[in-house]
Amino acid sequence: MTKNRLADIWVGVDVGTQGVRVVAVDAEGGLAASGSAPLQSTRVGVRHTQDPAHWWDAVALACSKCVSNIDRDRIRGIALAATSGTVLLVDAEGAPLSAGLMYDDLRAAQYLPRINDVGQRVWERSGYRRMKASWALPKIMWLLNNTDSDSVNVAHQSDFLNRRLVGHNVATDFSSGLKSGVDLITKQWPDDVLDQLGLDPTIFPKLVRSGSVLGKISAQAARATGLPQHTPVFASMTDGCAAQLGAGVVTVGNWNSVLGTTLVLKGVSETLLDDPTGAVYSHISPTGQWLPGGASNTGAGYLTQTFPTTDMETLNTKAHSVDEVALGTVTFPLNSRGERFPFVAPDAHSFTMGGPVSNDLSEVEQFVAALMGLAAIERLAFEHVERLGASTDGRIVLSGGGTRSRFLNQLRANMLGRELSLPAVTQPAVGAAVLAASQELTLVDAASTMVRVGENVEPDRPRENYDELYQSFIDQLRQRGWLEYTTPSTKVRSRK
C-alpha cells in the first residue's frame, strides 16, 4: 500500500431510526472523524412514519460535523446505509409525495395474501418463500392506493437521500430493493407480478449492485454537507448488511452474530440458501455472493424487560460467581410472543427449564439462565444454517450491545466451542465506509484493512460440558411443537 493510499478517507453514513451517524475511516481502519444528528418518529398503533425532509436535514448536519474535522481533500468516496423496507413515494423531481413508511410499519398487512399468492414463484426462488407484513411491497401498494397524485415514483429511504447527494435520479441497489420484490435470481423487477398486482413497473427505480457508482456530490449537496463537490457516491446497502461489512464479514464461511435488542445472524455463502421454513433470507453481496441471515425474537430486549430496575453491569459482574452448567437452568428469552429464527413458531413463548424452578432462583441466577438461553439459541441458529448448506468454518464475529457482557461473550464461546472475535468498532456507518472503499480496494481488501479486531475470546470450558443441557433445551422446543427436527448438526464443532 502506497503512502498516498494511507492518507485516503472514505465516508460512511448510517441512517437509523433514532438518528444519523457519519464516520470518516482511513485505509488502515482509523476513525478520522464522526458526526451525528437526531431523528424523530411518529408512531400511532401499527403505523410508524418519519418525515423524509428531516432525513436529509439530519444527513447534511451529521456530514457537516464529521468532515469539518478532517482534510477534505483526503475523501475518496461516500456510501450510505439505511433501514430495510422503509419506502415513500416521490415526484419526478424526487420531492416526497408521502411520509416515509418505516421498516416496522404494519398498516399494509391487508395486501399480503394477494402479494404472496401472485408472487409465490418469485419469492420461492429468491429463497425467502413469503413476504411479511412489514416488508416494503405491501406498503408500496398501500401508498399508491392512498395517494391522489397521478405522477409518482417509488423510492427507498436510501434512494431519496442518494438523489439529494448527487442531484439527479438514481438507481436503487438489490439490498434495498429485496423487500420491494426484486427477483434475486434475474436481478430485475418481476414485471409480470407487479402487473398482476396492479402496479406499474416503470415507477420502480432501476437496479444496480451495492457499491456501484451512482454519481458525484452536487454543488448544492456540497454546500449542505461540507463534502467536496464531485466526490463519488456509491450505491447503498441496508443497515443490517452494512453492519456485517463493518464487522469484516465478507468471505464465505464467516459469520457475524449481532446481539442487541434481538439476536441477528448474518453470513456469506457461495450459493443461495433455500429455507423451507422461511426463517432465513439472503441479500446479494457487492461481490455477487450471497449474504444469508435471520433475526430472532430473543435478545437483550428480554433482559431489560425482566430486570428493569437492576443495573445490567452489576448483574454481569455477579454472573461470574455462578456456574452456569452446575445451575442446570435455561430460559428461552423471547422479547415478545412468537419466534422467527432459527425456527418459525408464531405461538412460541418464554419458558424456564431444568434446575430449580424459576421462583427459587435468585435474580442473578435468573439472569444467567436467560444468558444460557441466548447462547443456546445462537448455537441452534448456526446448526440451522448448516442444515441449509451454509459453511460456518470461517471466523465468527460478535457485535451489538450484548458484547459489553464479558460473561456472556465467554459463555457464547463455550457453547459454540469456537474462538470468537470482537472488532474494535462495529456499526453500520463503518460498513458503509468499507462499501465506499470497495470499488478501489476490493471488498475483501477494504474489510481486511479497515476493520480492526479488538479482542478474541477463546473457550475456557469444553463444549461437551454444555451438550446435555443444550439437548434438553432442544427437546423442550420440540415437545412444544415449535421445532421439527431433533438431530443436532455437528459442523459448528470445527476449528476448536
Give how far Cα 487 sits from Cα of 218, 372, 468, 475, 484, Å. 57, 20, 13, 10, 10
Q: How many CA atoms lie within 13 A of 35 on its CB side?
A: 21
The fold of the 248-299+343-425+462-493 domain, in CATH, is Nucleotidyltransferase; domain 5 (3.30.420)
Q: What is the CATH number of domain 3-240?
A: 3.30.420.40
Task: Describe the crossing of helices 406-416 and 464-479 by its angle, rounded to 10 degrees.
Answer: 90
Give me the chain's average pLDDT, please: 93
Q: Residue 167 pLDDT > 50, yes or no? A: yes
Residue ranges per domain, the chain? 3-240, 248-299+343-425+462-493
Give the three-state DSSP class for 42: strand
Q: Residue 495 pLDDT > 60, yes or no? A: no
Instruction: State the pTM of this model.
Output: 0.90
What integer pLDDT is reported at residue 426 of this predicted model?
74
What integer pLDDT is reported at residue 360 of this predicted model?
81
Give how far Cα 269 sits from Cα of 112, 248, 290, 291, 475, Å. 29, 15, 5, 6, 29
Give how far Cα 38 sits from Cα of 15, 18, 48, 299, 429, Å. 10, 6, 16, 25, 15
| Distance in angstroms (rounded) separating the CA atoms of residues 8 and 164 | 24
List, in order, residues 6 or more apart from 119 with CB less than 8 Å away: 131, 137, 181, 190, 193, 197
Residue 378: name the closest of 342, 337, 420 by CA.
Answer: 342
Across the range 143-170, mean pLDDT stands at 95
Across the range 146-162, mean pLDDT stands at 93
On the question of a common fold for 3-240 and 248-299+343-425+462-493, the answer reads: yes
| Distance in angstroms (rounded) separating the CA atoms of residues 132 and 130 | 7
CB 52 within 8 A of CB 119: no
Q: Residue 208 pLDDT > 90, yes or no? A: yes
CB 299 within 8 A of CB 374: yes
Confidence of residue 494 (pLDDT cuts 50, 70, 90): very low
What integer pLDDT is reported at residue 244 of this predicted model?
94
Q: What does the chain come to in residues?
A: 496
Counting DSSP H helices and E strands in the chain, the numbers are 18, 22
Q: Residue 450 pLDDT > 70, yes or no? A: yes
Across the range 133-152, mean pLDDT stands at 93
pLDDT digits (tens, 9 = 90+) for 211-233: 999 999 999 999 999 999 999 99
Give the three-state DSSP class for 65: helix
Q: Residue 394 pLDDT > 90, yes or no? A: yes
What percentage of the chain carries pLDDT values higher than 90?
88
Confidence of residue 357 (pLDDT cuts 50, 70, 90): low
